[in-house]
């Protein structure tokens, strides 16, 4: 069975002695078996792939969001509410998701947004929410440094920057950059996840 996807908290300071890692890599219930993660740039959140059969209690943790094992399915109303509530608590945009959005597309879009945040962190060493930005902050209230960082990161990825106008919120901007990732799968270690919900283990 392919690994299951989760959104999990990250711990660690990013040093060799204290690497950034899923919280439950070192805190009960400890992750069992191989896992891979994609972090949200400098935010303390990541998408994790792990064997759900070896980690049956991981999905029960209050700070973990478990994706269904069938990523081709679409969310129920209750699942969508749980997803959007969870995402709001960890600064993940979920406004594009609805009752027709397959779970694979949800995971792929979140991963694409994380890719932008990773690139941003690589260029500037800070979170996409640095300086007090929230998902609701409009572009007009970004300071000059923040505007330059967002623009430079987008341009370095060959993304269009037409979304960067005064009334666009951080959420709208990150959504747009996530969409511009396109149809490419997201990859974590040897795991590939497409927008149609296909999970492939390559190693």
Best CA proximity match to 47, nearest among 127, 111, 2, 94: 111
Structural domains counted in the chain: 1
Stretch 186-198: mean pLDDT? 82
Q: Give the gyration radius of the chain's Cα atoms.
A: 17
Give domain status of residue 199, yes or no. Answer: no
Residue with tokens 């572009």: 139
Q: Write the pLDDT tens digit of every residue in 114-155.
A: 999 999 999 999 999 999 999 999 999 999 999 999 999 999
Output the pLDDT for position 180. Answer: 94
Q: Write the pLDDT tens digit of every residue in 170-187.
A: 999 999 999 999 888 998
Give domain status of residue 200, yes or no. Answer: no
Give domain status of residue 103, yes or no. Answer: yes
Give domain status of residue 116, yes or no. Answer: yes
Give domain status of residue 198, yes or no. Answer: no
pTM score of the predicted model = 0.94
Structure-block tokens of residue 20: 């950034």
Output the pLDDT for position 2. Answer: 66
Output the pLDDT for position 191. Answer: 80
Give domain status of residue 152, yes or no. Answer: yes
Output the pLDDT for position 193. Answer: 84
Output the pLDDT for position 73. Answer: 93
* Domain encompassing residue 44: 4-191
Best CA proximity match to 38, nearest among 26, 49, 23: 49
Report DSSP state, residue 163: T
Side-chain-facing half-sphere of 102: CA atoms under 13 Å:
14
Give domain status of residue 71, yes or no. Answer: yes
Give domain status of residue 28, yes or no. Answer: yes
Surface-to-core class of residue 197, CB atoms within 10 Å of its CB (0-12 exposed, 13-18 middle, 19+ buried): buried
Q: Write the pLDDT tens digit of every residue in 20-52.
A: 999 998 788 888 888 889 999 999 999 999 888
CA dihedral defined by 171, 82, 63, 50, rounded to 10 degrees?
A: -90
Output the pLDDT for position 203. Answer: 58
């Amino acid at each position: 069975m392919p690994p299951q996807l989760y959104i999990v908290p990250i711990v660690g300071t990013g040093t060799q002695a204290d690497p950034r890692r899923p919280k439950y890599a070192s805190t009960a219930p400890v992750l069992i078996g191989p896992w891979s993660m994609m972090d949200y740039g400098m935010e303390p959140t990541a998408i994790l792939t792990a064997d759900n059969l070896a980690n049956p209690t991981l999905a029960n943790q209050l700070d973990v969001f478990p994706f269904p094992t069938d990523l081709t399915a679409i969310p129920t109303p209750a699942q969508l509410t749980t997803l959007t509530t969870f995402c709001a608590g960890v600064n993940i945009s979920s406004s594009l998701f609805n009752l027709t959005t397959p779970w694979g597309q949800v995971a792929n879009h979140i991963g694409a947004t994380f890719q932008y945040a990773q690139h941003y962190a690589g260029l500037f060493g800070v979170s996409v929410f640095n300086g007090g930005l929230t998902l609701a902050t409009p572009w007009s209230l970004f300071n000059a440094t923040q505007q330059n960082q967002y623009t430079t990161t987008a341009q370095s990825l060959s993304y269009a920057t037409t979304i960067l106008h005064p009334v666009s919120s951080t959420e709208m901007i990150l959504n747009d950059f996530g969409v511009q990732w396109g149809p490419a799968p997201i990859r974590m270690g040897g795991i590939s996840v497409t927008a149609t919900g296909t999970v492939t283990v390559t190693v």
